[in-house]
Amino acid sequence: MTAAQAKQLAENRIGVVALHSQAQPFDSAVILRGMTQAVRQVDLRAETSSTVISEPLRKGKQVSAGDVLCKLDPGTRPAALLEAQARLTEARANMPVSEARLDEANAKLSEAKINLTAAQKLSEGGYTSETKLAGSKAAERAAVAGVASAKGGLETARAGIESAIAAVGAAHKELERLTISAPFDGLLESDTAELGSLMLPGDHCATVIQLDTIKVVGFVPETQVNRVALGAMAGAELATGARVQGRVTFVSRSADQATRTFEVEISVANPDLAIRDGQTADIAISAQGANAHKLPQLP
């Protein structure tokens, strides 16, 4: 080999790096974009008609479960309750009378049957007239009719009691509808109804929102949905730059018909209420990794 050939060969040489490599698991994540949502939100509305007699509470106020948000004027409803209770008392008082009438009718029927049996035996022996036998039969039929009438009266008395009980229950329910209370601890997202305003069934009293736990909601493509598991750790970066962590608590089994994506919910603790409802979030959900070889970067 000449010197020129050796020089040419040296110039054409390629550097090679050799190393022993073993596949190792690398974590991966499912990346989504979503938004925060209150864990619970409810619009409280009136179920009856009346005037508001409570002072309004302003939005942003912290409320506890059972706190009165709107109280309505009872009007004549207490009187209606007293009237229903009086009718119930009267209906119950009539019950023993109806039962006594039935007992009396049954006793008369028993007596009439005994007299009819005796008259029939005497008639067979020729010891009584046909007229007396006919009278005994008529008395027995009248006693049967009396029992039927007494039973009808007893059933009417029972129906009267049931109707009165229903009326008392309805009157109590109508009084309960006069007080609209917070169903859970939360924040008022709107002012409560103003003092003196007339509320009709369906009119808005207040909106209560719960934020001490918040949901971060995103939509995962159908190609990635099987990589998201319930209970998986997840993190989210909000538009404000704040970062939060939680766990996957829901993965939809039904795809959105328009986007063919599946809803995913992540529950995040929010004790200081720093996270607001409706904030944009970039979400990363921990998912099972894959085995791969790590290669060094060549210059």
Q: List beta partners, residue 180.
A: 70
Q: What is the pLDDT of residue 5?
A: 64
Q: Calculate mean pLDDT across residues 262-291.
A: 88
Question: How far apart are the C-alpha atoms of 238 and 200, rounded to whole Å?
Answer: 41
**Strand ranges, E, within 52-185:** 62-63, 68-71, 179-181
Q: Which of 106-115, 164-173, 270-279 has the lowest mean pLDDT?
A: 106-115
Per-residue pLDDT tens digits for 33-77:
999 999 999 999 999 999 999 999 999 999 999 999 999 999 999
**Is the pLDDT assigned to residue 22 strictly greater than 70?**
no
Look at residue 43 and give its three-state secondary structure.
strand
Q: What is the pLDDT of residue 295?
A: 60
The pair of structure tokens assigned to 244 is: 């939060």
The pair of structure tokens assigned to 226 is: 């099987």
> Are 139 and 87 spatial neighbours (Cβ–Cβ below 8 Å)?
no
Domain boundary assignment for the chain: 25-72+188-292, 77-176
Per-residue pLDDT tens digits for 217-267:
999 999 899 989 999 999 999 999 999 999 999 999 999 989 999 999 999
Domain spanning 25-72+188-292: CATH 2.40.30.170: yes
Query: What amino acid occupies position 272?
Result: D
In which element (H, E) is residue 209 found?
Answer: strand 204-221
Q: What is the pLDDT of residue 196?
A: 94
Q: Which of 112-116, 143-147, 287-291 has the lowest mean pLDDT?
A: 287-291
pLDDT > 90 fraction of the chain, expressed in percent and rounded: 60
Give the residue with greater pLDDT, 54 vs 298: 54
User: What's the N-to-C CA distance of the chain in angstroms?
Assistant: 32
User: Of all residues in the chain, what percent are helix, strand and coil, respectively (each to 5)?
Assistant: 35, 30, 30
